Amino acid sequence: DHNILLQKVAKHKIKGKVGLWIKEFLCNRKYKVVANGEMSEMQDVLSGVPQGTVLAAILFIMMIANIDEEVERSIVRCFADDTRSSIKIKTEDDKKALQKDLESIYKWAK
For residue 34, the number of C-alpha atoms closer than 13 Å in the C-beta half-sphere is 1
Mean pLDDT of 25-49: 91
Which domain range does residue 90 map to? 67-109
In terms of domains, do 97 and 58 share one? no
In terms of domains, do 77 and 52 share one? no
In terms of domains, do 56 and 82 share one? no
In terms of domains, do 51 and 92 share one? no
Beta-bridge partners for 78: 83
**pLDDT exceeds 80 at position 36:** yes
In terms of domains, do 44 and 6 share one? yes
Give 44-95 pLDDT, tens digit per residue. Answer: 988 888 888 888 888 988 888 888 888 999 999 887 778 889 999 999 999 9
In terms of domains, do 89 and 47 share one? no
Total domains, the chain = 2
Contacts of 58 (CB under 8 A, 6+ apart): none
In terms of domains, do 52 and 72 share one? no
Measured CA to CA, the distance from residue 2 to residue 50 in angstroms comes to: 12
In terms of domains, do 32 and 55 share one? yes
In terms of domains, do 26 and 50 share one? yes
Contact 45, 38 (CB under 8 A): no
**pLDDT exceeds 90 at position 34:** yes
Measured CA to CA, the distance from residue 42 to residue 80 in angstroms comes to: 30
pTM, full prediction: 0.68
